[in-house]
Amino acid sequence: MSSTTTFQAIRGRFLDIQNTVSQASEIPSQTRYIADGLLITENGKITWFGTWEQGKNHVPVNVELEHYPEQLIVPGFIDSHIHFPQTEMVGAYGEQLLEWLNTYTFPTEIQFKDKTYADKIAQFFVEELLKNGTTTALVFCTVHPESVDALFEAAEHHNMRLIAGKVLMDRNAPEALLDTAESAYLDSKALIEKWHGRGRALYAITPRFAPTSTPEQLQKAGQLKMEYPDVYVHTHLSENKNEIAWVKELFPEQKGYLDVYDHYGLTGNRSVFAHCVHLEESEWDCMHKTGSAIAFCPTSNLFLGSGLFPLKKAWDKQVKVGLGTDIGAGTSFCQLQTLNEAYKVQQLQGEKLSAFESLYHATLGSAKALDLDEKLGNFNVGKEADFIVLNLKATALQQLRQSKAKDIEDAVFALMTMGDDRNIHATYIYGQKVYEQK
């Protein structure tokens, strides 16, 4: 054994989804609940997982066992769409998307030219993720390269797997937030060279959305994606009806909104499109054909009055879906609150969202949407050891409700309905405890 090897051994109640699925109906048979389990990690990776009875002799000598008899241990939550510079503007009153951007968002984002300011908010943001049990996220920065450095530096401090990128935006925004097609290309290229694959960091080419990029800029973004095929593409799509009409005016030569991105080579297996509330049939087909993924952001879609995301349609069309908070249009950093609203969005469409399907979307499903399901999302041996310890009884009301829970599924459903950051007891990144509730 090398002297630098670090082990962790965790005993407790574990719940995860063992394999990715192509239909929601497959989820129950992939759900793994171990009432008395053991997880062993070595240098950040899972090396053993199973029941305590089978595993207790595998605990390395001299490793102190951490035991959580009451809590529930699940894989770390994965947020597939969030904006770190919008942390300070959650709950901005009264507008829908386009007015909300002009009134609140753009003035907020101008501040991130200042690296010191960006550092301060990036550190707050990363701590807020950890406090809410989110161990990986796909993140919008601002147009300023400084904002990207600030975020990756803050994430690196906790050894967090994070995907992020500089916003590309060369029209239809305040002057102080504009780049050019050429500077966007050069700045993004330099950031890819600096950050993509450094530690656990990964880069996303991040055009804000079609209306704020010229065709020249989207063409440069596509060129960059060709040069670096394994970086991500992260943008917004079909969130709001006025936005969609505007895209059609700005790009009359394209068949529709998604066709703009597709035309410039921005669809594909590592492309993540936030929202997709109002896709047309041919756009669903394009999402499927290109292997592109959707970030479903229920608190945002309700807060901005954007619409109801048709989750069942995504399953039917075999399009990957991750769960996103979309802070600051979204209203909570917590995936539990996000699932609470996701359930209601399905109810309003006459559909159900079960507790285990919800867990899938917050963990392995989001990992799949981010093309990280080989590395993250459950407790399979070989995966990266990012996990959280949940307290199911953080309030008096939760204690009462949990005392009546029929089984683990009912307990988890109640947790998702009522839970928030008070339920996150501890967060582990790469085998190390990085947050514990005081």
Contact residues toward ligand GUN (CB under 6 A) are: 83, 97, 101, 105, 208-209, 236, 239, 300, 326, 329
CA geometry: angle 182, 172, 117, nearest 5 deg: 75
Among residues 262 and 326, whose Cβ is nearest to Zn ion? 326
The answer to whether residue 239 forms part of the interface with Zn ion (CB under 5 A) is: no
Shortest spacing between CB 258 and ligand GUN, in angstroms: 14
Among residues 138 and 412, whose Cβ is nearest to Zn ion? 138
Among residues 101 and 231, whose Cβ is nearest to ligand GUN? 101
Is residue 1 exposed (0-12), middle (13-18) or buried (19+ Cβ within 10 Å)?
Answer: exposed
How much helix, strand and coil, in percent to the nearest 5, is found in the chain? Answer: 45, 25, 35
Among residues 239 and 386, whose Cβ is nearest to ligand GUN? 239
Question: Which listed option, ligand GUN, Zn ion, none, makes contact with residue 166 (CB within 5 to 8 Å by class)?
Answer: none
Question: Which listed option, Zn ion, ligand GUN, none, makes contact with residue 209 (CB within 5 to 8 Å by class)?
Answer: ligand GUN
Question: Which listed option, ligand GUN, Zn ion, none, makes contact with residue 105 (CB within 5 to 8 Å by class)?
Answer: ligand GUN
Shortest spacing between CB 142 and Zn ion, in angstroms: 12
Shortest spacing between CB 324 and Zn ion, in angstroms: 7
- The residue whose two tokens read 């307290």 is 391
Question: Which listed option, ligand GUN, Zn ion, none, makes contact with residue 294 (CB within 5 to 8 Å by class)?
Answer: none
Among residues 13 and 83, whose Cβ is nearest to ligand GUN? 83
Shortest spacing between CB 272 and Zn ion, in angstroms: 11
Among residues 234 and 368, whose Cβ is nearest to ligand GUN? 234
The answer to whether residue 243 forms part of the interface with Zn ion (CB under 5 A) is: no
CA geometry: angle 187, 97, 318, nearest 5 deg: 80
Shortest spacing between CB 387 and ligand GUN, in angstroms: 29
Q: Are 160 and 135 in contact (CB under 8 A)?
A: yes
Contact string (CB under 5 A) for Zn ion, positions 283-312, x = contact? ------------------------------
Shortest spacing between CB 239 and ligand GUN, in angstroms: 5
Q: Which residues of 35-59 are buried (b: 16+ CB within 10 A; e: fewer)?
A: eebbbbbbebebbbbbebeebeeeb
Question: Within a 13 Å sphere around the CA of 176, how many CA atoms are in the beta-carbon half?
Answer: 11
Among residues 97 and 394, whose Cβ is nearest to ligand GUN? 97
Coil vs helix vs strand at 391: coil
Shortest spacing between CB 277 and ligand GUN, in angstroms: 11
Angstrom distance (rounded) from CA 322 to CA 139: 13
The answer to whether residue 109 forms part of the interface with Zn ion (CB under 5 A) is: no
Counting other chains too, the contacts that 350-355 makes at CB distance below 8 Å and 24 or more residues apart are 351/311, 351/312, 353/311, 354/24, 354/27, 354/28, 354/409, 354/413, 355/409, 355/410, 355/412, 355/413, 355/416
Which residue of 16, 187, 326, 386 would you call a contact of Zn ion, by CB under 5 A?
326
Instruction: Tell me the residue nearest to Zn ion as measured from the CB.
Output: 326
In one-letter notation, the amino acid at residue 246 is W
CA geometry: angle 357, 359, 361, nearest 5 deg: 70
Q: Which stretch binds Zn ion (CB under 5 A): 20-28, 173-181, 209-217, 325-333?
A: 325-333
Q: Which two tokens stand for residue 101?
A: 């951007």
Shortest spacing between CB 199 and ligand GUN, in angstroms: 27
Residues 264-283 that bind Zn ion (CB under 5 A): 274
CA geometry: angle 269, 274, 280, nearest 5 deg: 85
For residue 436, give Cα distances in angstroms to 131, 363, 425. Answer: 8, 20, 6
Among residues 239 and 357, whose Cβ is nearest to Zn ion? 239
Angstrom distance (rounded) from CA 178 to CA 171: 7
Among residues 83 and 368, whose Cβ is nearest to ligand GUN? 83
The answer to whether residue 79 forms part of the interface with Zn ion (CB under 5 A) is: no
For residue 19, give Cα distances in angstroms to 45, 192, 253, 311. Answer: 18, 31, 42, 20
The answer to whether residue 341 forms part of the interface with Zn ion (CB under 5 A) is: no
To which H or E segment does residue 310 belong?
none
The answer to whether residue 386 forms part of the interface with Zn ion (CB under 5 A) is: no
Residues forming contacts to Zn ion in the complex (CB under 5 A) are 274, 326
